[in-house]
Each structure stands twice: as structure tokens, then as C-alpha cells.
Chain A
């Protein structure tokens, strides 16, 4: 019997306490940011869309190897001697033409693993997060700033250069062969 009245009392009192809390919250200012008109302030380490400063890229392929989802595809072509590709911003001379640097931003998982291995810090994550497209093909970003004919040209140049070198080698006199010394067996330190 006592339990009956205790139940009624506890029901009414806890409901009243709950109602007091929600009533107080009617007058607390809302925490919502009205998005398209007001944009949130993003911290400086924010990790959104990737950007590649192609002027600094030396074509080392470290970022493509580090990526866990293989969204970066890079193709490079060696330059022929005598071509000047310019310098990176740190003063290093570039030696490879980058003919393809595609990032499929739809595959990218925003993990930042490509940023750290880059020796020239040319790939980094910006704070751009509004980059929707209507066509899926537009989400494959192409960062190379050579035109298509130029890229073909570089490949043809290098192929020509290699062909010339090969013909030159065939025409030159054969150098005396050095006798190969027997190679001692390497100690297998991880023998198991």
C-alpha cells in the first residue's frame, strides 16, 4: 500500500523535475550555427580536400605508395639531358617530367598519410570541404599543368632519346669484359 503512494509521489516529482529542466532550456540560447549564412571557424590543422603544388613536385611517388586506398596515380617520364625543368621552391633541381598526377578525391579517406612522406611538402590538406560535383568523373582531380599534347611530346622525346642511345651503344666498339669474381654467400642474420 505504501509502495502505491510512493510510486505516485515519485512519478509526479520526477516528472516535475524533468519539466523544470526543459523549461529552463527554453531560454538558453541555441547552439546551432545557421550554416550557409554563417560558416564555422575551422582550426588550423583542419584536414579536408587535398591540394598539390605541382611546381614543387619532383615525382618521387612516395605519396602514392603511402596512400592506403590507392587514390593517387602518378606517371613520370625522365627528362632528356639539356632540358631545364626548373627548381622546386627549396632550390632542388627537378629531373622528372610528371605527366600524370591524378587524385581520385572520391576515394580519398582523408587520412593524411600522403602528406608526411613528401620531401618537398608539395601535397597538403586544405580546409575546403564544399566541393560536390554533379558528375563522378569531375571528382578525379588532375594536377599536372602540361597540356595533353605536351605530355605526349615528353614521352615521345624520352623514347626517341632512349632509341638514339641504344643505336649509339650498338655502333660503339665493344669494351673488354671484366671477369666476374665469385660473390661470397651473405650471412642470413634472420635465419629461421
Chain B
């Protein structure tokens, strides 16, 4: 004989301290167990794709910054790679190396935000501050190069807007040995903590089949056990010259594909990014960064889809050009938008506190989900 209880609908509304942005999650609860989660999007839609039809190709770059504002260099990288492939131009070696350095620093900064806010949602408020303190150092590095801390407009089609500043090189080389012990401290404080493990292990397990069927990418897919990284499987720019590892979730504490695995994949990726930056600094050639920027960007008629590895997953740009100075259509495949789909699968049968943990481990940025 089973008790018929009423289903309660709870709104984890657009204004909430833990939904990383303005996201509305409609939870159908039975007591404290979740039956269904429906995300409602669109609160941050700013018509990026429509704007892009009215701008020239260089003018779109500040707009691409603002989609995933926590990983702006990654967005710019994806866009300029797409347009350069459409134009068929080759950029100087120095430009390639600097772009890789910037993208990897941005990856570290973005993962620091993800880890810090994840800890904050779980209740550990101190690692959040520690992560942001380290992120400040990276942001001031970016400020030395291009003058802005978060929305850079640094990577241009065919080159960069400024060359590296000598302050940047010096401070960046000092940052790498400063940061490695901080990762260890974060692991001691948060990753190994028994209470944290109890909260995250075996919660929100994403089986590999489901992950592939939903089309997830990035740490969400790698946390479920698949070694898939656009930098290795479909190399762009000069990533095939670097020697780095791709961390995969192995179920060290709990099952493969749970929240802890996704979290730990991000921690390990930060270390790998440091490795790439060290190799890039060693091999950095001399040269001019603005020499290959075309005066007029008018790609031939055609269309192209190109993808890069953003900290949150595979960011894809599909550009249709009809020969004019403005693109005919720019479609962006935002990784957070695709990854957000799996939240319904992951949350079934868990408690409300677990919804917060799962959402934090998927690591979405609403700017990218809504564009």
C-alpha cells in the first residue's frame, strides 16, 4: 500500500544565489525527491546572432567576448580561427603561440571560477575567495597586455591588437611557480574533504552513452570517461605541437561520471594548461603580430563550421558569407546550452541540495546559453 502524496512545484527562480546567472529551473518535487527538472532559458538573450548580421567582421569580436564572459579569449579564438579559415590566410608563428598562451591562461581563470563557485554552492565559502585571489593575478596579466580585465578584444582576424608587454612575460613566468602550490592547497582544503566527497560522489552520475547521445562536450563528457578534446581530436592553431595530457574521470571516489569526477577533471586540466604555457613560452618566436591583418575583410562566398575547445566544452561557429563586408549568418554552438540539457537526466531521484551540486558541476554561463 503506497501513500499518494501531492507533487509540489518549486521554482528555483531566475533570482537565486546559486543558479549561475538568470536561469529558471522548475522542479517537480515529491517531498524532497526530484521527479522532473525543466530549465527555462532566455532571460539573458541579447540577440548576438542578429547583431552579427549588421556588423563587419572585426566589429563582431567585442560581441563574441560577451557571450561566455568568463572565458572571453576562448570565444575570440574560436571566431578568428573560423574567419581565417574562411579567408584562407595564415597567421605568423608568434601570433599562434601568443594565442595559445592567452587561451590557456583563460582556461585556468575560467576553471578557477567554476571550482570556486562550486565550492560556494556546496557551502565551503573559503576556497571561493582563494580561487578568486588567484584569478585576480591572471586578470591583471591580461590587463598588462591589452588593457582590459574581462572583455578583451585582443585576438583580431589575422593577428592580435597588441604585442606582448615585457611586464607580461616577466609576471607570467612568475605566476607559474606561484600557482602550483595553490592547486595543492585547494586539493587539501576542498577536494579531499570528506564532507565534500560525501556531497559530490555518486551524485548526478552521467553514463557515457547518455553523455554522447545528448552531445555534451568538455569536462562534462570527459568526466564520464571519454578522452575527447577538440585540441587533440581536431587540432586547430598549433595545438598539435604541444605535449599535454587529457584528464578523464575515473571514479576515484564513487562512480565514473559523478559530480566529483567532473570537478576533479577541471582541477587536473589547470595543471595541464600550465604545462602548455611553459612549453609555449620556451618556443615563442620573434615577429610582428599585426603584419597579416587584412585591410578589408571580405571573405569569398561560402560557409564554414569550425570549433575550438572552450573551458566549458566545444564552442562552434558556423559562418555563412555572401561576399560582403558583413557576414550573412553567424551561428554559435554554445557548449553550456548543450550541456544544460542533461540536467533532467542527472537530477531524477535526488534531493534539492543535489540539484545545486549538479548544476555547479556542469558549469554553465548564462551568457553562452542564451547568447
Contact = CB atoms under 8 A, between A and B. Distances in A.
Report A-B touching, CB under 8 Å: yes
Interface of A: 7, 10-11, 14-15, 17-18, 21-22, 25, 31, 42-43, 45-47, 66-68, 109-113, 116, 125, 190, 192
A190 B165 CA distance: 42
Contacts of B59: 66-68, 113
B315 to A, nearest CB: 20
B268 interface: no
Given A17-B192, A43-B165, A68-B62, A113 B133 contact: no
B150 to A, nearest CB: 10
Contact of A18 (B63, B148, B167, B189): B189
B194 A14 contact: yes
B126 A109 contact: no
Interface of B: 55, 58-63, 126, 133, 136, 140, 143-148, 151, 153, 161-162, 165, 167, 185, 188-189, 192-195, 300-301, 323
Contacts of B194: 7, 10-11, 14-15
Given A46-B143, A110-B151, A111-B61, 18 more contacts: A14-B192, A14-B194, A14-B195, A15-B194, A17-B188, A18-B193, A21-B185, A21-B189, A22-B189, A43-B140, A43-B167, A45-B144, A47-B147, A68-B60, A68-B62, A111-B151, A116-B161, A192-B301
A68 B55 contact: yes
A113 B62 contact: yes
Q: A interface, by DSSP: helix, strand, loop or mixed?
A: loop
Given A17-B192, A21-B185, A21-B189, A46 B62 contact: no
Nearest to B185: A21
A18 B189 CA distance: 5
B63 A45 contact: no
Nearest to A13: B194
Contact of B62 (A22, A42, A111, A192): A111
A37 B192 CA distance: 40
A113 B167 CA distance: 24
Contacts of B140: 43
Given A21-B188, A43-B144, A45-B144, A113 B323 contact: no
A67 B62 CA distance: 10
A15 B167 contact: no
B144 A111 contact: no
